[in-house]
Amino acid sequence: MLTLDEVLAHDDPYPHVLELAASGDRSLIAPARAAAQRFADASDWHGAGLMARILVGVEGSQAVPLLLAILAPVLRDEHFEDPEMLRLSVGRALSEDPAGCRSTVLAAVASSDPDLHRAGLWALGAIAGPDDLGLIRQGMAGPDPSTRRQTLTGLSDDAALREIAVEALRDSDEWVRREAVIRLGWSGPASMLDLLIPMAADPSSAVRSIVGEAIVRLAAPRPESHDAAAEALRSLLTDTNHWARTRAAVGLSVLRGAGSGPGGPLVGEDGVEV
């Protein structure tokens, strides 16, 4: 097994990161924490995510306070980096030990620091129980659109939380509405189709650019819904937004049986996933 320094210098570190994460070697905690912070300070979110994977593997929920603090600033809307591996590592800790993470998450939600508050609401969605719905609704009622959007992003597929995404379809912020469309279209039940079809007429191109794919993902397995879905998709064929038009065209192809099913990627005529 490689040392942490050797892993950091490796051309393909991930398999070795997994080895270290599974090693149970607590001597890794201090240097991995220092490296995670160093990567975050340099906006190297991939590197920070690798260290997060080691820390979650070795110390579990005890790593979450540091990792939430590192993740918090990058969840602002002005950040365009996608700290996917960092999110996934925190998500792993939340799913493996929700009880152990709970006090940390609730402390973050209660924080006066807006970044940490936002990160706490994002994390809360993964471990939320019936008693947490009030906190999540408070987050969704707040004035900051990025906090509302990240709250949505973190929601699990629990049916009790789905109504929050439904309500967000009427949010004043276009990116919150877009996130609601994604949540319902990708993980919602088929009954959400009736709520998403009207979103094809949303005034925001950010919403219209994604709603076609959401519609077809829900409609494709339901032949009785094809006519209504196709009408909504046809309305997007002349949209001013390129992705709205492209996804509508691909969606119509899917409904005709000529494209991939709703569980797989949608691929345009040029072979590019859309």
What would the pLDDT profile of 94-119 be if each residue is shown by its tens digit? 999 999 999 999 999 999 999 999 99
Are 166 and 211 contained in the same domain? no
- Indicate the DSSP class of residue 267: B
Q: What does the pLDDT read at residue 210?
A: 97
Are 210 and 244 contained in the same domain? yes
Model confidence pLDDT, tens digit, residues 12-51: 999 999 999 999 999 999 999 999 999 999 999 999 999 9
Kindly state the average pLDDT of the residues 182-199. 95
* pTM, full prediction: 0.86
Number of domains, the chain: 3
Percentage of the residues of the chain whose pLDDT score is greater than 70: 92
Are 76 and 147 contained in the same domain? no
Residue 80 pLDDT class (50, 70, 90 cuts):
low
**Measured distance CA(71)–CA(153) in Å, rounded:** 14
The tokens 């129980």 sit on which residue?
129
- The CATH number of whichever domain residue 111 belongs to comes to 1.25.10
Are 158 and 116 contained in the same domain? yes
Are 114 and 163 contained in the same domain? yes
Are 134 and 204 contained in the same domain? no
Q: Is the per-residue pLDDT at 194 higher than 80?
A: yes
Any domain includes 184: no
The last residue of a domain, from among 96, 112, 139: 96
State the residue range of the domain holding 214: 189-274
The last residue of a domain, from among 48, 66, 96: 96
Are 37 and 68 contained in the same domain? yes
Any domain includes 73: yes
* Partner residues linked to 273 by β-bridges: 267
The last residue of a domain, from among 96, 111, 140: 96
* CB of 105 closer than 8 Å to CB of 119: no
Residue ranges of alpha helices (H) inside the chain are: 4-8, 14-23, 29-41, 45-59, 64-71, 84-96, 98-109, 114-127, 133-140, 145-153, 159-168, 174-187, 193-196, 205-219, 226-235, 242-255
Q: Is the per-residue pLDDT at 132 higher than 80?
A: yes
Any domain includes 175: no
The mean predicted confidence, pLDDT, of the chain is: 91
